[in-house]
């Protein structure tokens, strides 16, 4: 048995806790566990899927040697790789699937269940026969060539551990991995069992596992794992790329870019996001998270993680943006293949578009013209002076023109009811109350309201009224505007009833203020907003939103000052104004409402 501790305490404190609580475990001798029964006892029978667009190949493996865990992780890593010439790319290019995911579902005592799950294309050409044939053909190729990938996999694992958090590392070392590392004997043993005879359940017809001639290729080495070349040429600063020193340069950094387009272009955005997926996967392997989003007339690119490879990731992303290949351009106008979300998640996803009252007018496939008319602004934090120079050099390729003046978000007025259609029988509702102004005093007030209401709101709607299971509230930024957000998804109440319950709760806010010992929640809120104590990504997002709202480098200090000087009388006045029927708010639901 291994006891692992992870926490904010020092190593000495953790050691003391481990010694103290580890002493409660009774001592004893190791008992050999009984061997589990065989995974596959009968010949598998064809089993249909409830969803005809989903397909599984699940292999039951027995008698695997020591090191099976690493061998299975090694296999799944390369099977899931999306680079050209690999399994995922080949099956996608043939129009057979939308996605593939290989994972280990069970491992113990030499046994393993390896599942390869597919989401089939909408109209696949006989996928039930062709997909398994390609899988087994790729496995044969991989068995003959996998040794060439061992060093690259070791680099990937080294980087993965380097960027893992304390809890992930505790879990990793608690598993007691084989000290010898990846064993080719274990990989060979695993691959030898991945045959049609080992399928636990199957839709596969006998002819499905026949030969299929494909020119497979091994993945290219991840370019972001190599040490980055430092730029020796000084680079002039970009006027609209703001470097912030609010977060220390300790090896983790964030870059945020936002473009303002002449008109919303959701089809182009979907095309670009799809083209970024292979780069996202490679960047993630190197400890860098890349995310692209579109809302209203805005496109946003956010890159965060290890500072060293971040400029190279930016260069690659901008290259895909400016000069997409023919395959990317051919995807323009293709329907979204994302799985359907539950109603409340769909509302959260589309809330920025609805808040901006975004209306898609005329779309175009002329990407160069869209970039030519776009205006951009950027924000970076966590970079050393030398790293800033490297990033500025890479940022020279940012398309569009620098945004000369900040895009002022107009203040919302009155009540708007927007509908996001859904086929679900359940009703979902979001109610967003933006701050009355962009002043930090108003933001501080709204943040304190969120702090005071969060637990009571859940208690009232989820526990007492039992309206639904997706009940939440808090302070959120939506399309650059801060505000109070209330959300609920209910199988029993209609939209009008949900609005009434939320309004009734907000009317009780003055009571919550009077009952609270205000210095305590204010102190807790100040601690939560202390960027020095946040995760880097969380702190960077807070500073980015402040940048979009037009606040300067002293944002955190000024917000703390506003929180420290909140007055009881002013809070009550603001709470009464919030409850008024004419207060500014956006109601987003999958059903018509009372307004």
Give residue 262's pLDDT. Answer: 93
Residues 389 and 522 in one domain: no
Q: Is residue 48 part of a domain?
A: no
Residues 250, 201 within the same domain: no
Contact 303, 290 (CB under 8 A): yes
In a domain, 583, yes or no: yes
pLDDT of residue 206: 47
Do 428 and 527 fall into the same domain? Answer: yes
């609920």: which residue's tokens?
A: 488
Q: Which long-range contacts (CB under 8 A, 24 or more apart) does 440-445 make?
A: 440/551, 440/555, 440/558, 440/559, 440/562, 441/562, 442/574, 443/482, 443/559, 443/562, 444/559, 444/562, 444/563, 444/566, 445/566, 445/570, 445/571, 445/574
pLDDT tens, 9-28? 888 999 999 899 888 888 88
Residue 485 sits in the same domain as residue 337: no
In a domain, 512, yes or no: yes
For CA atoms 238, 380, 297, 270, give the dihedral sign: positive
Domain assignment present for residue 11? The answer is no
On whether the CB atoms of residues 225 and 282 are closer than 8 A, the answer is: no
Based on the fold, state whether residues 368 and 466 are members of the same structural domain.
no
Q: For residue 291, what are the β-bridge partners?
A: 302
Per-residue model confidence (pLDDT) at position 34? 82
In 3D, which of 572, 569, 344 has the Cα closest to residue 452? 572
Q: Are 271 and 332 in contact (CB under 8 A)?
A: yes
Q: How far apart are CA 109 and CA 399, in angstroms?
A: 55
pLDDT recorded at residue 386:
92
Same domain, 425 and 560: yes
Whether 35 is in a domain gets the answer no
190 and 258 share one domain: no
* In a shared domain, residues 75 and 196: yes
Show which of 381, 402, 423 is a domain's final residue: 402
* 71 & 163 share domain: yes
Cα separation, 385 vs 383, in Å, equals: 7
Tally the domains of the chain: 3
CATH number assigned to the domain comprising residue 450: 3.30.830.10
Q: Do 202 and 61 fall into the same domain?
A: yes
CB atoms within 10 A of CB 140: 14
Longest CA–CA separation in the chain, Å: 78
Given 159, 191, 211, which residue is the final one in a domain?
211
How crowded is residue 45: how many other Cβ atoms within 10 Å of its Cβ? 7
How far is Cα 304 from Cα 287, in angstroms, rounded to an integer?
Answer: 9
Q: Are 141 and 219 in contact (CB under 8 A)?
A: no
Count of CB atoms situated within 10 Å of the CB of 180? 10
User: Is 64 among the domain residues?
Assistant: yes
Say if 13 falls within a structural domain.
Answer: no
End-of-domain residue from the set 353, 373, 402: 402
CA distances from 416 to 115, 357, 494 (A): 47, 10, 18
Asked whether residue 299 falls in the same domain as residue 344, the answer is yes
Alpha-carbon separation of residue 556 from 478, 540, 568, 592 (angstroms) = 19, 12, 22, 40
Q: Is residue 573 part of a domain?
A: yes
Bridge partner list, 210: none
The torsion defined by the Cα of 308, 314, 315 and 319, in degrees rounded to 10, comes to 160
Distance (Å, whole) CA 595 – CA 592: 8
Q: How confident is the prediction along the chain (595 residues), in pLDDT tens digits per residue?
A: 678 888 888 889 999 998 998 888 888 887 887 888 888 876 655 555 556 778 899 999 999 999 999 999 999 999 999 898 999 999 988 888 888 999 999 998 899 999 999 988 876 567 667 899 999 999 999 999 999 999 999 999 999 998 888 888 888 877 755 456 789 999 999 999 999 999 986 555 544 554 557 899 999 999 999 887 665 566 666 878 999 999 999 999 999 999 999 999 999 999 999 899 889 999 999 999 999 999 999 999 999 999 999 999 999 999 999 998 887 888 888 777 677 899 999 999 999 999 998 777 788 999 999 999 999 999 999 999 999 999 999 999 999 999 987 666 777 888 999 999 999 999 999 999 999 999 999 999 999 999 999 999 999 999 999 998 899 999 999 988 999 999 999 999 999 999 999 999 999 999 999 999 999 999 999 999 999 989 999 999 999 999 999 899 999 999 999 999 999 999 999 999 999 999 999 999 999 988 8
Residues of the domain holding 321: 241-402
Tell me, yes or no, whether 260 and 379 share the same domain. Answer: yes
pTM of the model: 0.87
């Amino acid at each position: 048995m291994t006891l692992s501790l992870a926490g904010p305490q020092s190593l000495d404190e953790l050691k003391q806790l481990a010694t103290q609580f580890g002493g409660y475990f009774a001592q004893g001798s190791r008992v050999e566990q009984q061997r589990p029964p065989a995974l596959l006892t009968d010949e598998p029978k064809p089993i249909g899927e409830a969803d005809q667009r989903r397909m599984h190949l699940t292999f039951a493996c027995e008698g695997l040697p020591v090191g099976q865990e690493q061998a299975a992780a090694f296999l799944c890593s390369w099977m899931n790789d999306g680079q050209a010439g690999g399994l995922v790319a080949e099956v996608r290019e043939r129009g057979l699937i939308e996605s593939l995911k290989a994972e280990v579902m069970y491992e113990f005592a030499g046994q393993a269940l390896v599942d390869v799950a597919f989401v089939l294309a909408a109209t696949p050409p006989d996928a039930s026969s062709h997909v398994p044939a390609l899988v087994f053909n790729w496995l044969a190729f991989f068995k003959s060539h996998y040794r060439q990938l061992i060093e690259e996999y070791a680099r990937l694992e080294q980087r993965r551990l380097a960027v893992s958090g304390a809890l992930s590392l505790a879990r990793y070392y608690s598993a007691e991995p084989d000290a010898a590392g990846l064993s080719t004997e274990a990989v060979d043993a695993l691959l030898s069992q991945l045959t049609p005879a080992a399928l636990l359940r199957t839709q596969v017809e006998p002819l499905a596992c026949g030969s299929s001639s494909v020119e497979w290729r091994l993945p290219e080495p991840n370019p972001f794992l190599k040490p980055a070349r430092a730029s020796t040429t000084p680079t002039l600063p970009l006027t609209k790329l703001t470097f912030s020193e609010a977060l220390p340069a300790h090896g983790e950094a964030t870059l945020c870019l936002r473009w303002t387009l002449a008109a919303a272009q959701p089809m182009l955005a979907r095309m670009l996001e799809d083209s970024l997926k292979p780069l996202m996967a490679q960047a993630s392997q190197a400890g860098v998270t890349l995310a692209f989003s579109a809302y209203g007339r805005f496109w946003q690119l956010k890159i965060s993680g290890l500072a060293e490879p971040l400029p190279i990731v930016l260069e690659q992303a901008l290259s895909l943006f400016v000069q997409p290949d023919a395959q990317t351009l051919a995807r323009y106008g293709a329907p979204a293949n994302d799985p359907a979300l539950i109603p409340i998640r769909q509302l959260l996803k589309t809330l920025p578009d609805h808040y901006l009252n975004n209306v898609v007018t005329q779309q175009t496939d002329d990407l160069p013209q869209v970039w030519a008319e776009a205006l951009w602004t950027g924000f970076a934090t966590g970079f050393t002076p030398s790293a800033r120079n490297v990033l500025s050099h890479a940022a020279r390729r940012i398309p569009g023109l620098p945004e000369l003046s900040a895009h002022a978000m107009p203040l919302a007025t009155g009540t708007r009811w927007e509908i996001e259609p859904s086929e679900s029988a359940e009703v979902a509702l979001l109610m967003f109350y933006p701050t009355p102004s962009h002043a930090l005093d108003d933001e501080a007030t709204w943040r304190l309201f969120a702090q005071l209401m969060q637990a009571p709101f859940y208690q009232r709607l989820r526990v007492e009224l039992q309206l639904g299971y997706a009940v939440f509230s808090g302070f959120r930024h939506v399309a650059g505007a801060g505000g109070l957000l209330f959300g609920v998804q209910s199988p029993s109440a209609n939209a009008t009833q949900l609005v009434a319950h939320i309004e009734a709760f907000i009317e009780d806010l003055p009571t919550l203020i009077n009952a609270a010992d205000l210095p305590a929640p204010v102190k807790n809120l100040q601690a939560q907003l202390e960027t020095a104590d946040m995760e880097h990504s969380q702190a960077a997002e807070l500073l980015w939103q402040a940048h979009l709202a037009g606040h300067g480098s002293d944002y955190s200090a000024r917000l703390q000052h506003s929180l420290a000087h909140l007055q009881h009388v002013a809070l009550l006045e603001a709470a009464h104004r919030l409850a008024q029927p004419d207060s500014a708010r956006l109601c987003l639901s999958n059903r018509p409402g009372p307004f």
